[in-house]
Amino acid sequence: MEQAKNLKKMMQPPEDSAIRVITVTSAKGGVGKSSVAVNLAIALSRRGKRPLIVDTDFGLANIDVMLGVKPKYDLYNVIKDRTDIREAVVSGLYGVQFISGGSGIEELLTLGDHDLQRIIRNLMCLDDIADCILFDTGAGINENILRLICASHETLLVTTPEPTSFMDAYALVKIVGKRELKPSLRLVVNRAETEKEAEAAIDGFVRIAGKYTGMTIDPLGYILRDDNMVRAVKLQVPLLISYPNSRAAYNFDRLAANFLQSPVTDVPGMRGFIKRLFGKTGEGDA
């Protein structure tokens, strides 16, 4: 009982923090999710926001690779009390701040509640340098990802027009739709060949998801296929920096504008996020 009381006390911050929590996820690997997270963060930074990317693709973290940086510390060091979380923040790079999840560390793949709580409470102390946190999740579906999706103020679901990608994204929507805590989902279609294909894909996904799962999906926008995206990854310089005049760069700018113009369905703040993350999971039958 005493341990439970201490845990409850630890989960209640003395003062709320108005950080906007966004999860960027996909149910399938290889759809460009991390590229979306990085370039969206840059676009938001250019619009006066202070984004912080937290790479939670534990074991296969790649945000640092995409940015061409090798951090001295990562989340593993924070969890093990080897460093303060501020030392793990790489800031100022192309207007992006990020924390690496660490690569190839097996312990991070089975992160438990205690360590997850340690990460979240450390992040709460960063509201002086960040006004929005973007959790870049790993591909696939697991319990920690589902909890982040349902607890976040908003979740960006990244998919492509390919049928396999669509079906995996739909499966994710179906699973979270059975939970008591319904997430705010916003759809991003990546690598569409044309605007017509992108709009048709978005309309189709939103319609089918609404009809068969009851979930309301907000169509946030799309990124057209652009060979410069591949070149940017190889250069380890984000597209908005390396190819600022490309059509995909224009799409990212529009995506950021739509994101900031869209109404927030929940009041930003870490107190509510923590309550949802560590409260009832609201699981239904998958």
HSE value, Cβ hemisphere, 13 Å, CA-based, for 161: 19
Is residue 156 very low, low, confident or very high in pLDDT (cuts 50, 70, 90)? very high
CA distance 185 to 154: 6
Rounded to an integer, the average pLDDT of 243-262 is 95
In whole angstroms, give the CA distance from residue 147 to residue 140.
13
Average pLDDT, integer, range 160-186? 94
Tokens of 38: 């990085």
**pLDDT > 90? residue 45:** yes
Calpha distance 3→7 (Å, rounded): 6
What percent of the chain is modeled with pLDDT above 90?
A: 53
Predicted confidence (pLDDT) at residue 274 exceeds the cutoff of 90: no
> 93-107, 115-129, 193-207 — which is least confidently predicted?
93-107
Cα 109 from Cα 120, distance rounded (Å)? 17
Give the pLDDT score at 166: 93
pLDDT number for residue 282: 42
Under 8 Å between Cβ of 26 and 140: no
Residue written as token pair 């093990």: 80
Domains, the chain, ranges and CATH? 20-272 (3.40.50.300)
What is the largest distance, in Å, between two alpha-carbon atoms of the chain? 59
Asked whether the whole model's pTM tops 0.95, one would answer no
Q: What is the dihedral of CA 210, 254, 25, 39, to 10 degrees?
A: 170
Q: Is the pLDDT of residue 208 over 80?
A: yes
Instruction: Dig out the tokens for 71 from the structure.
Output: 């951090």
Residue, of 70 and 108, whose pLDDT is higher: 70
pLDDT above 80: residue 257: yes
Residue 109 contacts residue 65 (beta carbons within 8 Å):
no
CA distance 181 to 283: 8
Task: Please give the backbone phi and psi of residue 15, each rounded to the nearest 5 degrees, phi first.
Answer: -135, 140
Q: Could you tell me which of 12, 273, 18, 275 has the C-alpha nearest to residue 130?
A: 18
